[in-house]
Amino acid sequence: MINRLTIEDMLQRLSIKPVNPAWSTGKETGDDTSTPFDSFSPVDGQLIASVGSASADAYDRVIEQATAAFGQWRMIPAPRRGDIVRQFGEALRSHKQDLGMLVSYEMGKSLQEGLGEVQEMIDICDFATGLSRQLYGLTMQSERPQHRMYEQWHPLGIVGIISAFNFPVAVWSWNAAIAWICGNVCVWKPSEKTPVTAVACQQLMARVLAENGIPEGVSCLVQGGRSLGEELAGDHRIALVSATGSTRMGKSVAAATAARLGRSILELGGNNALIISQHADLDVALPAAVFGAVGTAGQRCTTTRRLIIHEAVYDTFRQRLVNAYGQLRIGNPLDEQNHVGPLIDVDAVRQYEAAIASCLREGGHFAVAGTVLEGAEYVSGCYVRPCIAEVEPYFEIVKQETFAPILYLMKYRTLEEAIRIQNEVPQGLSSAIMTQNLREAEQFLSVAGSDCGIANVNIGTSGAEIGGAFGGEKDTGGGRESGSDAWKAYMRRQTNTINYSDKLPLAQGIKFDV
């Protein structure tokens, strides 16, 4: 179990002071107008640290510093940039336990998930290091004699990253590691609900940059609330804004960047469904459904929120779920005996209660009732019981994303019906089917199947690997981050044609004699 002394030791090892002024590139900006804000742990309600918010002047200085750093960073060969990212990954390895504990304590996810988030950062650094030698262009055949055509990729400039509280550091690293090896510099605005983990990561990267004589403006951090995010989204000096958060927030970012013809990557809400076929292996389906629904206390964008179960196995699987929920241990996430930690804050608790009330009004029945937990162990007021509701697919509450451990159960008869139910929500992030029937699996993955950016067979909706491009469709935003060829979003494409003849033939056979 954790105590105050353990927290202080952890912060000291990560070089985090109890109070930090406006943090930008890892050191104090000297801005006296900065107003600190507090980070309280949802685990026990205790103050972790106070972090300064960046004033308008401090923000401008950060952008100027990043702009200057870009001029140098882009000229460093990509494999050398990759080596810097590799060193950052090694720094994360050295501090994995402390940083994982801090993620768990500040955000509320289980320690195993906190450590897993740091491992995800390490993995993307490894991936980006290899990718730094593979930013391939393309050679094309010219229709004109003695001409060569090819395309190459160049960095964009400043990449602004707006991250959410539920993955306070991993999603930043997905963007930053790839953006860095592409030759960009990054300005990160973390969630104001998890600012201390951001300071820890920024400090680690700042040390790596300093040890290599690299301008510190390559990696910048600005702390603040919604208004700072709006400033970043509308700033013409920022070439690309990658934003993770609610659909409402994403629409605002998209409008602000589009108005200045900037670029955006949006990773927004999810309302993910898991289809349980009559041909499913229920022993495999059960842990996938339970972890998908209660992992991170239901606060993942890939959380399983809807179970679409074939009528032939509905009663059996429902009872197995109820039994499994009865065995869940809820409490301090740093105690590895517990399965479920707290919600991020009391506002999230109120949203949980409101969703339950809405479900009941629409006629839902709770197989496992939800409630806010009380007692000395739940002193923060942020602990809730994961619940299971039996609903109809057309309920309005079922079409909304509630960031809490509420699982909706519904029946289906045919696979076509199940796929239609799955797709009849505004969001389109992650989806999955449990089946041992090859035809069902292929139909689910076909053009007439899942409309989500992620579609899995015989695994759950959560737990994406960094090697694949991550993102969704519809109200999820349509962006892609992390693996595959998502790196192309962080670069600009340039087509080049070289004439090495002594004539000037024109394309399309046009004649122009002078």
Alpha helices (runs of H) in 234-313, residue ranges in sequence order = 247-259, 282-294
Global pTM value = 0.94
pLDDT at 34 over 80: no
With H, G, I as helix, E, B as strand and everything else as coil, classify residue 240.
strand
Q: What pLDDT does 30 receive?
A: 40
Assess whether 256 and 291 both reside in one domain.
no
Does a structural domain hold residue 36?
Answer: no
pLDDT in tens, 401-415: 999 999 999 999 999
Pair (407, 434) in one structural domain? yes
Q: What is the pLDDT of residues 292-343, one digit of tens each?
A: 999 999 999 999 999 999 999 999 999 999 999 999 999 999 999 999 999 9
**Annotated catalytic residue, options 125, 301, 359, 452:** 301
The answer to whether residue 316 is domain-embedded is yes
- Residue-wise pLDDT for 468-488, tens only, equals 999 999 999 999 999 999 999
Distances (CA, A) of 250 to 163, 268, 332, 480: 11, 6, 32, 14
| pLDDT digit string, tens, across residues 349-385 | 999 999 999 999 999 999 999 999 999 999 999 999 9
Please say whether the beta carbons of 402 and 351 come within 8 A. yes
Same domain, 168 and 281: no
**374 catalytic, yes or no?**
no
3-state helix, strand, coil in the chain (%, to 5): 40, 20, 40
| Cα–Cα distances in angstroms (integers) from residue 9 to residues 14, 98, 117, 198, 260, in the given order | 9, 9, 21, 18, 46
**Residue 194: inside a domain:** yes
pLDDT band of 20, cuts 50, 70, 90: very low
Within a domain: 37: no
Structural domain of residue 234, as residue ranges? 4-27+48-266+477-493
| 282 and 239 share one domain | no
Helices (runs of H) and strands (runs of E) counted in the chain: 14, 22
CA distances for 133 relative to 76, 113, 379, 427, 449, angstroms: 13, 31, 51, 36, 36
Q: Which of the four pLDDT bands, split at 50, 70 and 90, describes residue 52?
A: confident
Known catalytic residue: 267?
A: yes
**CA–centroid distance for 226 within its chain:** 18
Which candidate in 106, 113, 231, 267 is catalytic?
267
Q: Quick one: average pLDDT of 235-252?
A: 97
Tell whether 179 and 301 lie within a shared domain.
no
Per mean pLDDT, which range of 22-31, 414-423, 476-485 is the poorest?
Answer: 22-31
Say if residue 253 is in the same domain as residue 348: no
Which residue type is seen at 47?
L
Q: What CATH number is attached to the domain comprising 17?
A: 3.40.605.10
Residues 51/26, Cβ–Cβ less than 8 Å: no
Provide the number of structural domains found in the chain.
Answer: 2
Mark whether 118 and 215 lie in a shared domain: yes
Share of the chain above pLDDT 90, in %: 90
Position 4 scores a pLDDT of: 65
What average pLDDT score do residues 153-178 get? 98
